[in-house]
Amino acid sequence: MSLEFEISTDVARLDIDLIHGFLSSSYWARGRRRAVVERAIQNSLCFGVYRDRRQVAFARVVTDRAVFAYLMDVFVIPEYRGRGISKTLLQTILDHPDLQNLRLFLLVTRDAHGLYEKFGFRPLAQPDQVMEIRDPDSDSRAQ
């Protein structure tokens, strides 16, 4: 990624319309309400990628900054894909000082295993120990 792009964790710079628009039409967050996106951003460590002050990519990490992190909502807008932005974004996230020496760093992906494996992510070592409560309609119902 060239110097024409900048990565920032400044929440005030995030383009909420862009983020909500992308997420609400993605396979993993289809129908997510704007209020849910806003609340998620306020309670996460967010990373925006910008070119000429225009946001072109996003990721957020839910973390206690001590032992656990969960990488979510990673995207690069279509016209900026293929430029190495996702790789630089992931490296920036993994290098962030608040995300060092964590016991567990998770993510869920349906289609980007190859990308994440380059950064050390692997399938769950003990999937029989991981449990969930899943509510597929929570994005559209939540306040």
DSSP state of 83: S
The pLDDT of residue 79 is 96
Please report how many Cα atoms fall inside a 13 Å half-sphere around the Cα of residue 91, on the Cβ side: 7
- The second-level CATH assignment, the architecture, of 5-141 is 3-Layer(aba) Sandwich (3.40)
Residue 1, pLDDT > 60, answer: no
Token output for 121: 């992510």
Q: Which amino acid is at 137?
A: D
CA pseudo-torsion sign 40, 46, 47, 49? positive
- What is the per-residue pLDDT across 38-68, written as a single tens digit (0 to 9) for each? 999 999 999 999 999 999 999 999 999 999 9
The pLDDT of residue 140 is 66
Cα gap 107→31, rounded to integer Å: 20
Domain coordinates in residue numbering, the chain: 5-141
Cα gap 26→1, rounded to integer Å: 24
Asked whether the beta carbons of 107 and 72 are under 8 A apart, the reply is yes
Q: pTM score > 0.85 for this model?
A: yes
Cα gap 34→23, rounded to integer Å: 9
Q: Alpha carbon of 53 to those of 14, 38, 49, 50: distances in Å?
A: 10, 20, 9, 5
Q: Which residues pair with 71 in a beta bridge?
A: 61, 107
- What is the per-residue pLDDT across 92-140, written as a single tens digit (0 to 9) for each? 999 999 999 999 999 999 999 999 999 999 999 999 999 999 887 776 6
